[in-house]
Homo-oligomer: A and B are copies of this chain.
Amino acid sequence: MHTSIATVSLSGPLTEKLTAAARAGFDGVEIFENDLLASPLTPEEIRARCADLGLRIDLYQPMRDIEAVPEEDFARNLRRARHKFELMTRLGADTVLVCSNVSAQTVDDDSLAAGHLSRLADLAQDFGVRVAYEALAWGRRVSTYDHAWRIVEAAGHPALGTCLDSFHILSRGSDPKGIEDIPGEKIFFLQLADAPLLAMDVLQWSRHYRCFPGQGGFDLAGLLTHVLRTGYRGPLSLEVFNDVFRQADAGPTAVDAHRSLLLLQEAVGAVELPPPTVPTGIAFAELLTPDAEPVAALLRALGFTRTARHHGKPVDLWQQGEARVLVNTGPAARRDGTRLAAIGLESPDPAAAARRAEALHAPVLPRRRAPEDTPLDAVAAPDGTHLFFCATGHPRLPDWRADFTSLPDTPAPAATRVDHLALTQPWHNFDEATLFHRSVLGLHAQESVHLADPYGLMRSRAVTNTDGSVRIALSVGAAPADDTVHAAHLALATDDVVAAARAFRAAGGRLLPIPANYYEDLAARYEFADGELKTYRELGILYDRDAGGAFRHCYTETVGRVFFELVQRDPGHQGYGAANAPVRLAAQHGARGTGR
């Protein structure tokens, strides 16, 4: 279907918005009046710019407080409308959004409203313009879509139709089924926005917290299904007022936006995308580091053995049980220091996984880095992490380890695998990252939680596959300034965290020390076997429970922006130690000596 986005959804001057929308694949835009007013381009120049970019101007918006007012006010409003219709002719826009009146002057009289809208449509028609009338959720007299439609229907004017906005409909809890009673050709426009389910004043909710479809709590697929049943074939247009998007760069926001519309169309069967290929495990994590030794020492202490080396690049494969870590000392490492740069996801069909990612705007990375390399399907996640879709020991698929030459050491026999990966997201991308991992990789998102860092609240949300063999915890700091403070980490599963922690320490590893006060609180909250708590305290092991069982975990020191966690997870436990995060984060700040 034709996709469109309101310029108010993107940051920057108008031309920056238009460029971003076109590059992301949108077919059209809604021009938000303030963006036009603030632009140094004439309407004709904006029209030409849009044409150059392959964008149609699907809507000009908004026109406010027009209808159901005293006659002398309406005369003034018509005069104002004439100016805007002239402008729209120059702009080449043929549909205008009229919002239901919010002013104190408006009268509660549907036939007056219908009469005024009809006269407005008469005038519009002279300019080749159509009027799309929309009920704002906080409209003074008209605040529901069915009420707006009754007025449009009563007016019975060919140049007058209704505009449906998912936020205004769903934020009020209106039943969208009634949309099917509206003839499709009288729905002149469809605006889509999702929103988190917040109990708050609807105007503030609308102005600051809207988000792209799939990033909030509304059933947009349900609503769109009703709309499509009417025969509507107009644009699917995003109108999203969001404080974060206003600050973020327009380019990535537009990509995020367009991806959300593709997914929504997929959900209603309006577009066919390559289906998700859910990853079945973590094949490897790749660390970039300018100096392999601190990382190697940490891996060795954790029980990893260096088992192979890449045939053409300075990349070592370290292994322990089913956990594999690549240590890459290539040139890219020198810029950013030690960081987690890539993840290998076990995929039953790597090529199909990459096709879906590509269809959903993930940048595809070169399949071969060098002519002699095994081809590998890989894309970049929104945070820049490289995701490799690969196979380890699969009977029919090429093995990514083919590029590695074995070293004499054999891996430790420990029954280890990756419990989860934790990735800090850039501040502006948190909702995008969740939607990306859900929709591109086919993972499920758990509830979002707040974690109290000593210097601000963080948000965290995990995405997992069904059997928990892939778990990725995405988190974001309190504000843009904190982007670089929090590190990524790799959590290794163990059946005995005490033994694993002791072995790590015996091998010279340093565990994150946890304050004694924490253990006194544990003693108050839970009953432990004799000596159990003493052991936890000695090793810095943290403890949490949910209905599914216990979660015992401890952390290593941090190297660069990476650290490791040892995790003993009861099979039914679904958490990641959120209850312990304030203590852990404070301890990490303390260990780093960040008095800031």
- Please report A residues at the B interface, Cβ cutoff 8 Å: 11-13, 16, 33-34, 36-43, 79-80, 83-84, 87, 198-201, 204, 208, 243, 246-247, 452, 454-457, 478-482, 513, 515-518, 520-521, 523-525, 582-583, 585-587, 589-590, 595-596
- Contact yes or no, B517 A39, CB < 8 A: yes
- Contact yes or no, A11 B246, CB < 8 A: no
Q: In the complex this chain forms, how many copies of it are found?
A: 2
Can you name 14 A-B residue pairings with CB atoms under 8 Å? A11-B454, A12-B455, A13-B589, A37-B521, A38-B517, A38-B583, A39-B515, A39-B517, A83-B523, A87-B520, A198-B204, A199-B200, A246-B452, A247-B479
Complex Cα–Cα for A84 and B12 (A): 54
- Contact yes or no, B201 A586, CB < 8 A: no
A38 contact from B83, B87, B201, B582, Cβ within 8 A: B582
- Contact yes or no, B199 A515, CB < 8 A: no
Give A79 Cβ to nearest chain B Cβ, in Å.
8
Complex Cα–Cα for A515 and B518 (A): 61
Q: 9 more A-B contacts (CB under 8 A) besides A34-B583, A43-B517?
A: A11-B454, A13-B586, A34-B582, A36-B517, A38-B586, A79-B524, A80-B525, A87-B520, A480-B480
In this complex, what residue of B is CB-closest to A524? Answer: B83
Complex Cα–Cα for A67 and B372 (A): 70
- Contact yes or no, A590 B247, CB < 8 A: no
| Chain B residues, CB < 8 A from A479 | 247, 479-480
Complex Cα–Cα for A315 and B590 (A): 46
Give A519 Cβ to nearest chain B Cβ, in Å.
9
| Chain B residues, CB < 8 A from A39 | 515, 517, 586
- Contact yes or no, B199 A42, CB < 8 A: no
In this complex, what residue of B is CB-closest to A199? Answer: B201
Complex Cα–Cα for A188 and B225 (A): 58
Give A242 Cβ to nearest chain B Cβ, in Å.
10
In this complex, what residue of B is CB-closest to A450? Answer: B207
In this complex, what residue of B is CB-closest to A518? Answer: B37
In this complex, what residue of B is CB-closest to A428? Answer: B479
Q: Given A199-B201, A200-B200, do A454 and B12 touch, yes or no (CB 8 Å)?
A: yes
| Chain B residues, CB < 8 A from A37 | 515, 517-518, 521, 582-583
Task: Name the residue among A479, A480, A481 with the largest chain B CB count within 10 angstroms.
Answer: A479
| Chain B residues, CB < 8 A from A583 | 34, 37-38
- Contact yes or no, A201 B201, CB < 8 A: no
Complex Cα–Cα for A586 and B11 (A): 11
Q: Given A246-B456, A246-B457, A481-B481, do A38 and B518 touch, yes or no (CB 8 Å)?
A: yes
In this complex, what residue of B is CB-closest to A208? Answer: B457
| Chain B residues, CB < 8 A from A201 | 198-200
Complex Cα–Cα for A46 and B448 (A): 34
- Contact yes or no, B247 A478, CB < 8 A: yes
| Chain B residues, CB < 8 A from A480 | 479-481
A243 contact from B478, B516, B520, B595, Cβ within 8 A: B478
Q: Given A480-B480, A520-B83, do A515 and B40 touch, yes or no (CB 8 Å)?
A: yes
Complex Cα–Cα for A11 and B454 (A): 6
| Chain B residues, CB < 8 A from A456 | 11, 243, 246-247
- Contact yes or no, B515 A38, CB < 8 A: yes
Task: Name the residue among A16, A37, A585 with the largest chain B CB count within 10 angstroms.
Answer: A37
Give A43 Cβ to nearest chain B Cβ, in Å.
7
Complex Cα–Cα for A585 and B38 (A): 9
- Contact yes or no, A38 B587, CB < 8 A: yes
In this complex, what residue of B is CB-closest to A521? Answer: B37
A457 contact from B84, B243, B482, B521, Cβ within 8 A: B243
A246 contact from B33, B478, B516, B590, Cβ within 8 A: B478
| Chain B residues, CB < 8 A from A589 | 13
Q: Given A87-B520, A201-B199, A520-B83, do A590 and B40 touch, yes or no (CB 8 Å)?
A: yes
Give A526 Cβ to nearest chain B Cβ, in Å.
10
Give A250 Cβ to nearest chain B Cβ, in Å.
10
| Chain B residues, CB < 8 A from A36 | 517
- 10 nearest A-B residue pairs (beta carbon): A83-B524, A200-B200, A38-B586, A199-B201, A247-B456, A480-B481, A80-B524, A38-B583, A37-B518, A40-B515
Complex Cα–Cα for A455 and B524 (A): 49
Complex Cα–Cα for A182 and B457 (A): 37
Give A537 Cβ to nearest chain B Cβ, in Å.
13
In this complex, what residue of B is CB-closest to A455? Answer: B11
Give A205 Cβ to nearest chain B Cβ, in Å.
9
Give A592 Cβ to nearest chain B Cβ, in Å.
12
A247 contact from B43, B243, B455, Cβ within 8 A: B455
In this complex, what residue of B is CB-closest to A82? Answer: B524
| Chain B residues, CB < 8 A from A523 | 83
Complex Cα–Cα for A455 and B248 (A): 7
Give A252 Cβ to nearest chain B Cβ, in Å.
13
